[in-house]
Amino acid sequence: MISRRKAMMSMGALTGAVIASNASAQQSCDVFTPPTQASTTPDSALQMLKDGNDRFVAGRTRNCDLMKQVKETADQQSPIATIVGCIDSRVPPEMVFDQRLGDIFAARIAGNFVNTDILGSLEFATKLAGSKLIVVLGHTNCGAIKGAADDAKLGNLTAMLANIRPSLAKLNYSGVPSSKDKKLVQMLADQNAKDAAKMIVDKSEVIATLVKEGKVKIVSAMHDISTGKVSWYG
Ligand SMILES: [Zn+2]
């Protein structure tokens, strides 16, 4: 027979579990609207992405009615964050951060670097569409990073990889760079993500002003494709 005290203790544990599960499901299936976007700060947007990645890693992603969201976002969008990520099939930002329709903008390009076209997209996403946070999301075992390490030459890929090579030059690496050096590949992925984040403010006056005004925050992060976990650079 369970004593009253034990029963109360297990009820307390149950309440604790419910609170924990509510906290992890903090972001509901409600689509963002201009007022909820406006009341979201850069830091709270960042927290939503962190919570979303926690849910993704824990296998507890939100199960939203996507067609309901299609209808609710048909006339307007109010995303809270913008991700600059790689085209890699294993790193879709909406899934990795457990976000749904209308939640985030995603600019994807092999090697997640920044150029004029990406900067223009980011200016639209922030200045015109009100997004509060920019995340440059690199990932482990990235083919584009490996290509840049090897100085691979192929069609238009040659010019594209040239965007990543300046980050390689910054690394204190002796010898001939090669994708066979896994440590180098990760060091380059880290450097490239940080450089891209810095380049956004260096090359975009529009975004630099938003950052100065505290309206937008820029961070970089690394997605480990072997665990699904995103680590944030300090
Ligand atoms: Zn990649």
Q: What is the mean pLDDT for each group of 10 consecutive residues in the chain (234 residues)?
A: 51 47 63 95 97 97 95 96 98 97 98 98 98 98 97 96 95 90 96 98 98 98 98 90
Structural domains in the chain plus CATH codes? 31-232 (3.40.1050.10)
Could you tell me the pTM of the whole model?
Answer: 0.88
* Residues measured by CB to lie within 5 Å of ligand 1, the ion: 86, 88, 142, 144
CA of 71 to the centre of ligand 1 (A): 33
- Cα–Cα distance, 157 to 24 (Å, whole number): 41
CA of 165 to the centre of ligand 1 (A): 15
CA of 89 to the centre of ligand 1 (A): 9
Beta-sheet pairing, 133-139 with 104-108: unpaired
CA of 180 to the centre of ligand 1 (A): 16
CA of 120 to the centre of ligand 1 (A): 21
Sign of torsion over alpha carbons 55, 59, 65, 69: positive
What's residue 172's pLDDT?
84
Which of 114, 110, 198 is CA-nearest to residue 146?
Answer: 110
CA of 211 to the centre of ligand 1 (A): 27
CA of 118 to the centre of ligand 1 (A): 16
Which letter, b or e, does each residue of 196-212 get, where b requires 16 or more Cβ atoms within 10 Å of its Cβ?
bbebbbeebeebeebbe
What's residue 4's pLDDT?
54
- Cα–Cα distance, 56 to 108 (Å, whole number): 20
Q: In what order do the strands lie in the sheet with 133-139?
A: 104-108, 81-85, 133-139, 217-223, 230-232
What's residue 6's pLDDT?
53
- Cα–Cα distance, 123 to 34 (Å, whole number): 18
Within 13 Å and on the Cβ side, how many CA atoms surround 146? 10
CA of 184 to the centre of ligand 1 (A): 15
What's residue 2's pLDDT?
47
